[in-house]
Amino acid sequence: MGFSEIFAEEAPTREAVDALRGAAVVEFGAPWCGHCMAALPHVQAAFAGFPQVRHLKIEDGPGRRLGRTFGVKLWPTLVFLRDGVEVARLVRPLATGPIADALAQIAR
């Protein structure tokens, strides 16, 4: 649980994500993405206060279905889930505050 620094090449199914219990964040992006690299310190800093929240960092791109099921168009996109239901979403965050605020919404 908690922050993950590495993008997973193998994505879970949408059904598996929808079945997650508790607080989770699905982050879509790519390791070479400049916007993802710029957001990384902010995501990491925000997660420091929420180690109990699961972080699924998923490599996205052509032929990758999970991102399409969430309507991802720009990277990074962070989808904040509570019991598999989307509660908040941030696209290309450039500050720690909004990420921490969204984490607080799901971490009850």
Q: Does the active-site annotation cover 2?
A: no
Q: Does the active-site annotation cover 35?
A: yes
Q: Give the integer Cα–Cα distance in Å for 82 and 101.
A: 14
Q: Does the active-site annotation cover 33?
A: yes
CB 57 within 8 A of CB 6: yes
Q: Give the integer Cα–Cα distance in Å for 42 and 8.
A: 19
Among 2, 29, 34, 42, the active-site one is 34
Q: Does the active-site annotation cover 36?
A: yes
Q: Give the integer Cα–Cα distance in Å for 90 and 35.
A: 13
Per the listing, tokens 């059904």 go with 15
Among 2, 29, 35, 63, the active-site one is 35
Among 2, 22, 29, 36, the active-site one is 36
Instruction: Identify the three-state secondary structure at position 42.
Output: helix
Among 22, 29, 33, 84, the active-site one is 33
Catalytic positions, please?
33-36
